[in-house]
Each structure stands twice: as structure tokens, then as C-alpha cells.
Amino acid sequence: METDAALSILTALAHPTRLATFRLLVQHEPDGLSTGQLVEASGLSQSTFSTHLAVLVKAGLVVPEKRGRQQIQRVSIDALRGLMLFLAKDCCEGRAELCEPLLAELACC
């Protein structure tokens, strides 16, 4: 991942509504949630929420899927993986053992 792409993703997540939406979608992978379910969970109006969703889609974090008459929103696991690798790649001067506690914490959840 390039720096500009990472900055785009981090900027998209730098808002409470967008971060909460992204985290909710991560919890519902691989099925995703309908846009209506996300609007309801956010407590915002449809138009206000749509603005936030558009930012997440533009950053490549959320991928909309048409399923019948519903628009299902899913997380781009590739984008999440790319950001995590970008942030941790040069961790601890290449001493991978220093990242083991982080990996162990992720594995337990």
C-alpha cells in the first residue's frame, strides 16, 4: 500500500460515525449489512448517513453489493489487510518477535 492510499483510508476512518460503521461491518463479515440496517444503527437520517458511507466506499473500505432489491455493504478485507500491513511492516526495526504480543491478542479474539 502506498502512503497516499493509507492516508485516504485513515482520513475516512477519522470520524466517529464512519469508524463505528466500519467496525460494525467488520463484525458482520462475510455477510455484510443492508444500507437500511446501517442507517438504523447509526441513528442518522438516510441522507446524512449516505454521505458518510460514500466516504468509506471512495476510500475502498466498503464495497456495496446488490442482492435482490437490497444494497448490502461489506468491508473490503483486502483494504483492511493492506492498511494493517502498511502500519506494521517496519515495526520494531524488523524484529518480528516484538510484534508477537499484538498478533497473539488478535488471535485470541
Mean pLDDT over all residues of the chain? 91
Considering only CA atoms, which of 21, 44, 45 is closest in space to residue 34?
Answer: 21
Third-level CATH fold of 3-108: Arc Repressor Mutant, subunit A (1.10.10)
Mean pLDDT on 37-61:
96
Rounded to two decimals, the pTM is 0.85
Any bridge partners for residue 67, and if so which? 70
Confidence of residue 32 (pLDDT cuts 50, 70, 90): very high
Is pLDDT at 43 greater than 80 in this prediction?
yes
Confidence of residue 6 (pLDDT cuts 50, 70, 90): very high
Q: Which secondary-structure segment (H or E) carries 72?
A: strand 70-75
Considering only CA atoms, which of 68, 69, 53, 62 is closest in space to residue 32?
Answer: 62
Confidence of residue 62 (pLDDT cuts 50, 70, 90): very high
